[in-house]
Amino acid sequence: MPTRRQFVLTLGALAACKKSGTGTLKIAVVPKGTTHEFWKAVHAGADKAGKEAAVEVIWKGPLKEDDLKQQIEVVQSFTAQGVNGIVLAPLSDKALGASVKGAVAAKIPVVIFDSDLQGQDHTSFVATDNRAAGRLAGDHLAKALGGKGKVVVLRYQEGSASTANREEGFLEAIKKSTGITVVSENQYGGATTESALKTSENLLSAQNAATGGVDGIFTPNESTTFGMLLALQKAGLAGKLKLCGFDASDKLVAALEKGEIEALVLQDPFKIGYLAVKTMVAHLRGTPVEKRIDTGAKLVTKDNLSSKEVQDVLHPPS
Amino acid sequence: MKALLAKKWFGPLVALVVVYAIFLVLRPETFGRAATLLTMSQQTVVVAIAAVGATLVIVSGGIDLSVGSSVALTSVVVAKLLVRGHGPLVAALGGCLVATLCGALGGALVARLKMLPFIVTLGSMSILRGAAKGLANEQKIDAPARGLETLLQPAAGSLRPPTGVFLAIAVAVLAALLLSSTRFGRHVFAVGSNERTARLCGVPVERVKIGVYAIAGLLAGLAGVLEFSMLTVGDPTTAVGLELEVIAAVVIGGASLSGGEGSILGAMIGAFLMTVIKTGATHMGLPNWVQEIVTGGIILVASGLDRLRRGSATS
């Protein structure tokens, strides 16, 4: 939700159209969407890096959350506009390739963050190692279930590389326990909490979760985790099944405290946004940068929730 | 002057010029670039081609909600055919064929069973979306584009519009001629204005309707081929909500949702106007929610002004 300050700023920009063409570097940051909590933390990190380096950060995602074509259009617009650099979280590892090539051909460097892109045109790739993060969740759930039981995976969305890697990492780790069977792994929650909730409800009833048909659940991002949590709460099953989710929001953390969620794997979205912009600035100012920058992941349970390093990720210093 | 005011496309054209000028004044150093104009024309192509079909449907008194799903299905069919090793032409024609058949089938339900177009296309919207996902195994399909990608991507550094832009213009001109200068075109208007009268006058209402939905299907297919060209993957989740963008373009262009009125040129201007707002908002760094409010406002202002104009013309 926009703050009042943003609103005033926007009106100010509309009315007077503040400064343009000054000497500061302009860096466009293109997320996959703008309404998830996750992207808000990324935004805060990007802004902080922008402030520290004294560059202008333009934050612009696709109008519809997760719309591939609109994201391509945004990148094309920034290319035509001639910003100094583009920082992009591609919705498809292939489809954004041509637009990135176009930007690089127009002498605009591109840093990819959050999700990978095929090809070698981009300067650097800044992200969590998603497969490793998925394994982290798989190992923990296997342990929490005592090595036996029935597990459900609610996938996120067709064609999203970062979540697909988490799902694969999770399955890889969970399948090491021979006592655990994965009873469903082909359902997709879709882009919104609403669609994830509906799919979760159907999934839970299809697998007879109320009568012990499911012991553990994995969800690969914020919207699927929250959708599943709501479905569990509605069915009166929250806390009875072990839900291992991804990402954090106030509601998810509250549910973790209440024991309704077994564990959350946290990426550090603030750090992802921060490092992505920092990397771009370093590149633009002539410092060599690494091709691959890992921003790390952390498994959070009720036990380590209050530790300082977890709290730093949950409430980033801004 | 009076003749000009009476034209359906005149109002939207004024709106386009005004909005364009505003952005030009606010962001002269970037918005006025040839590269920006080129990018905008490219980004309008898919909506524009689909809007040509939708104009025919709306003039005939119908509505087509299945455009977005049809575009997604076509992009999947095209990708599938390319993966199987077929050439770009076969893939494109295959995609268009599927979309045309879907359109014609919907048209048959509307015409023969007298079902409401809104209901029929609401159903086909869901069926085609599901079919696209099933056909694609619920994933994006990576396909070798085999040259199809050049339809909507200009050579790097070149300012010549890609083929898709000319294709859209050609489609619009042909459709405008079809509507204004052929017997079929007059029949479409007649059916949309008053179906009973048209029937009494001997217009083959059923055939006209099936024809209209088949053409709309074909153009949705063509839009789907161009969508594939832009994405270079077959994407079953693409173009959700495209139907509303298309209908907005047609309505901004002066069409009446009760049928019998509409203009291809107006719809093209409407489609371009929405791209201008989208691009201008990006150049200004406006957040998405502002852009959505502005687009909605323009739709209301455009159709409101049209009401006023017609009100004063009849009084």
Largest CA distance in chain B: 63
Q: Give me the domains of chain A, ranges plus CATH numbers.
A: 19-128+268-296 (3.40.50.2300), 130-267 (3.40.50.2300)
B240:A106 CB<8 A = no
Residue B97 lies in a domain: yes
How many alpha carbons fall within 13 Å on the CB side of residue A202?
12
Residue range of the domain that includes B270? 39-306
Distance from CA of B55 to the nearest CA of A (A): 23
Q: Which residue of chain B is at minimal alpha-carbon distance from A106?
A: B157
A13:B240 CB<8 A = no
> Which residues, in sequence order, are bridge partners of residue A110?
A86
> Which residues, in sequence order, are bridge partners of residue A266?
A298
B240:A67 CB<8 A = yes
DSSP class of B234: E
Among B22, B24, B27, B39, most A C-beta atoms within 10 A, so best to mutate, is B39
Tokens of B239: 């173009």
CB count, 10 Å around CB of A38? 24
Distance from CA of A275 to the nearest CA of B (A): 22
Domains held by chain B: number:
1
Quick one: CA torsion of A231, A235, A240, A243, rounded to 10 degrees? Answer: -10
Q: Which residues of B52-68 are buried (b: 16+ CB within 10 A; e: fewer)?
A: bbbbbbbbbbbbbbbbb
In order of A60, A262, B95, the CA distances from A173 in angstroms are 36, 17, 41
pLDDT score of A19: 39
Residue B18 lies in a domain: no
Q: Which of B27, B46, B236 sits opposite A20 (nearest CB)?
A: B27
> Which residue in this structure is represented by tokens 């933390």?
A41
Q: What is the ipTM of this complex?
A: 0.79
Residue B28 lies in a domain: no
Q: How far apart are CA B51 and CA B245, in angstroms?
A: 9
Residue B137 lies in a domain: yes
pLDDT score of A34: 84
Contact residues on chain B for A106, CB-CB shorter than 8 A: 35, 156-157
pLDDT score of B65: 97
pLDDT score of A4: 54
Contact residues on chain A for B284, CB-CB shorter than 8 A: 13-14, 17
CATH code for position B271: 1.10.3470
Q: Which residue of chain A is at minimal alpha-carbon distance from B46?
A: A69
B142:A157 CB<8 A = no
B278:A73 CB<8 A = yes
Provide the terminal-to-terminal Cα distance of chain A, rounded to the nearest Å: 18
Q: Are B229 and B152 in contact (CB under 8 A)?
A: yes
In sequence order, what are the residues at sequence separation of 6 or more whose Cβ sits closer than 8 angstroms to the Cβ of residue A209? A152, A203, A235, A237, A241
A58:B36 CB<8 A = no
Q: Which of A64, A95, A186 sits opposite B231 (nearest CB)?
A: A95
Among A60, A79, A192, most B C-beta atoms within 10 A, so best to mutate, is A60
DSSP class of B161: P
Q: Are A258 and A232 in contact (CB under 8 A)?
A: no
Residues of A with CB under 8 A from a CB of B: 2, 6, 10, 13-14, 17, 20-21, 34, 58-61, 63-64, 67-69, 72-74, 76-82, 92, 94-95, 97-98, 101-102, 105-106, 157-159, 186, 188
In order of A29, A35, A312, the CA distances from A41 in angstroms are 13, 11, 12
Q: Which of B33, B157, B287 sits opposite A6 (nearest CB)?
A: B287
B232:A97 CB<8 A = yes
Angle at A304 between CA A299 and CA A308, to 5 degrees: 100
| Three state DSSP letters for chain A | CCCHHHHHHHHHHHHHCCCCCCCCCEEEEECCCCCCHHHHHHHHHHHHHHHHHCCEEEECCCCCCCCHHHHHHHHHHHHHHCCCEEEECCCCCCCCHHHHHHHHHCCCCEEEECCCCCCCCCCEEEECCHHHHHHHHHHHHHHHCCCEEEEEEEECCCCCHHHHHHHHHHHHHHCCCCEEEEEEEEEECCCCHHHHHHHHHHHHHHCCHHHCCCCEEECCCHHHHHHHHHHHHHCCCECCEEEEEECCCHHHHHHHHHCCCCEEEEECHHHHHHHHHHHHHHHHCCCCCCCEEECCEEEECCCCCCCHHHHHHHCCCC
Name the strands in the sheet holding A263-267, side by side, starting at the edge strand that comes first in the sequence: A179-188, A148-155, A216-218, A242-246, A263-267, A297-300
Contact residues on chain A for B237, CB-CB shorter than 8 A: 68, 157-159
Contact residues on chain B for A76, CB-CB shorter than 8 A: 39, 42-43
Q: Which residue of chain B is at minimal alpha-carbon distance from A57?
A: B285
pLDDT score of B8: 80
Residue B225 lies in a domain: yes
pLDDT score of A14: 45
Segments of chain B scoring below 50 in pLDDT: 315
If 0-12 CB within 10 Å is exposed, 13-18 middle and 19+ buried, where does residue B163 land? middle
Q: How far apart are CA B18 and CA A169, in angstroms?
A: 53
Residue B199 lies in a domain: yes
Percent of residues, chain A, with pLDDT higher than 90: 69
Residue B101 lies in a domain: yes
pLDDT score of B292: 85
Residue B26 lies in a domain: no
Q: Which of B43, B136, B231 sits opposite A76 (nearest CB)?
A: B43
pLDDT in tens, A88-103: 999 988 899 999 999 9
pLDDT in tens, A159-189: 777 899 999 999 999 999 999 999 999 999 9
Tokens of B110: 């509307």
pLDDT in tens, A183-221: 999 999 988 888 899 899 999 999 988 889 999 999 999
pLDDT score of B315: 43
B288:A60 CB<8 A = yes
Q: Which residue of chain B is at minimal alpha-carbon distance from A16?
A: B26
Global pTM? 0.78
> Which residues, in sequence order, are bridge partners of residue A150?
A181
> Which secondary structure element, helix H or strand E, spans residue B141, and what is its range?
strand B141-142
pLDDT score of A13: 45
Segments of chain A scoring below 70 in pLDDT: 1-22, 316-318
